[in-house]
Amino acid sequence: MKTSKCWMLGLTLISGMAFGAGKELRIYNWSEYMDPQILKDFEKKTGIKVRQDLFESNEEMVAKLQAGGVSQYDIIVPSNFIVPTLINLKLVQPLDLKKIPNLKNLDPKFKKLPFDPNNKYSVAYQWGTIGLVYNKDVIKKPPTSWAVIFDPKQANKKFVMFDSIREMMAIALGYLGHDINTVDPNQVKAAGKLLFDTKKNSNFQGFDAGVVGKNKVLAGTVTMAVAYNGDAARAMSESPKIGYVLPKEGGSIWVDSLMVPAKAPNKDAAMQFINYILDAKVGAQLSNFIQYATPNKASLPYINAKDRKNPAIYPTEAEIKNLKYIVDLGKNNRLYDEVWTEVKSR
C-alpha cells in the first residue's frame, strides 16, 4: 500500500510538473496575506513558478488592473464589494469550475454569495471583520464605541483611520445610525462631514491602508487604528499589549475571493492554484499562518484550537448579527466617490 501511494504521488508530481513546467503563475495579493511555504509547496508540486506582487487596498488593485495589470496577473484577491465592479468592467473572466473539484470543501454559507451567486467568477479565500486595534498599555479598558475616534471629547489618543472609501464610510454611517449601504445623499454627506471633522482632531495621524495602521499601533507611534481583524490577530500574537474590538455600533463583515483577470496569461495554472488553496489541509495552513478565518469547512478540523477560540478571528454569532456586507451600489457609488474625494482633498 505504501509503495502504491508513493508511486501514485510520484505520478502526480511528474504529471503536474510536465503540465506546468516552464510556466509562471503571477498573483496580485494583499500584503501579509499568504504563507510563503504554500507558494513553495505549490511550485514543488506543479513545477509552476509563482511570483506574487502586493497591494494595500482594493482601489489600488483595480487601478493596477485598469493600467494593464489585467494581462499581467493570473490571480487577484478582491473584497466582496469590488467583485461586481470587476465583472461589470470586464476585468475578470469566468472560472473553469470543472478544474476546481475542491470547491466542494467550501462552507455552503460562503458559496453562491449575492455578489456572484453561481461562483461563476469567484471563490471565497478568507473572511473577517473590520474593527479597532488598540494599545492596551495606554487604553486600559477596551473601547466599546467608535466614539473614541469620532467624538472630540473621547478622541484624546493618537489614531489613524482606514484609507478605503466604502469601509471607512461604512464605519461612519454605522456610528451615525444609518445603513452602511445607504444611497440617501444626505446620510452619505453626513458621514463625510463626520470624517472631515474627525480629520481636524489634532490626534488624527492620517489615513492608512492595509496593515500600515496596525503596524503603527504595534510600533507605538499611534494608540488606535481601524484595521482588519486578521492583521490585529497577528499583532496580538506578537505583543500582549495589543487588543482588538468590534464597537457596539457594528460595521462590516467581508469575504475576500480568488478571481482571474480577463487576460490572464496562465489561466490553467490559476485553476490549479485555486483548487490547491481549497484543499482542506492547505486551507488550514493558510489560515493558521495569516490568522484570518477560513471559509473552507473541510479545513476547520485542522485550524489551531487557540485561533478557533479567538473572537478577534472567529467573532461570536451575536457580533456577526451586528455586521453587514458592503454591497456594490452601481451608479450610486459616485455619491461615495464624491464625498470621499472631498474628505481626502480638503
Residues of each annotated binding site: 32
Label residue 3 exposed, middle or buried (CB < 10 Å: 0-12, 13-18, 19+): exposed
CB 287 within 8 A of CB 299: yes
The owner of cell 454611517 is 173
Here the contacts of 50-54 (C-beta below 8 Å, separation 24 or greater) are 50/24, 50/25, 50/26, 50/273, 51/24, 51/25, 51/26, 51/27, 52/26, 52/27, 52/28, 53/26, 53/27, 53/28, 53/29, 54/28, 54/29, 54/30
Beta carbons within 10 angstroms of residue 20's beta carbon? 22
Beta carbons within 10 angstroms of residue 33's beta carbon? 23
Beta carbons within 10 angstroms of residue 241's beta carbon? 15
| Residue list, annotated binding site for spermidine | 32
3-state secondary structure of 92: strand
**Distance between CA atoms of residues 11 and 30, nearest Å:** 34
Beta-strand ranges (E) seen in 15-74 are 24-30, 49-55
Q: Which residues pair with 208 in a beta bridge?
A: 162
For 243-272, give the DSSP string: EEE--TT-EEEEEEEEBEETT-TTHHHHHH
How far is C-alpha 217 from the chain's CA centre?
20
How many C-alpha atoms does 60 have within 13 Å on its Cβ side?
Answer: 15
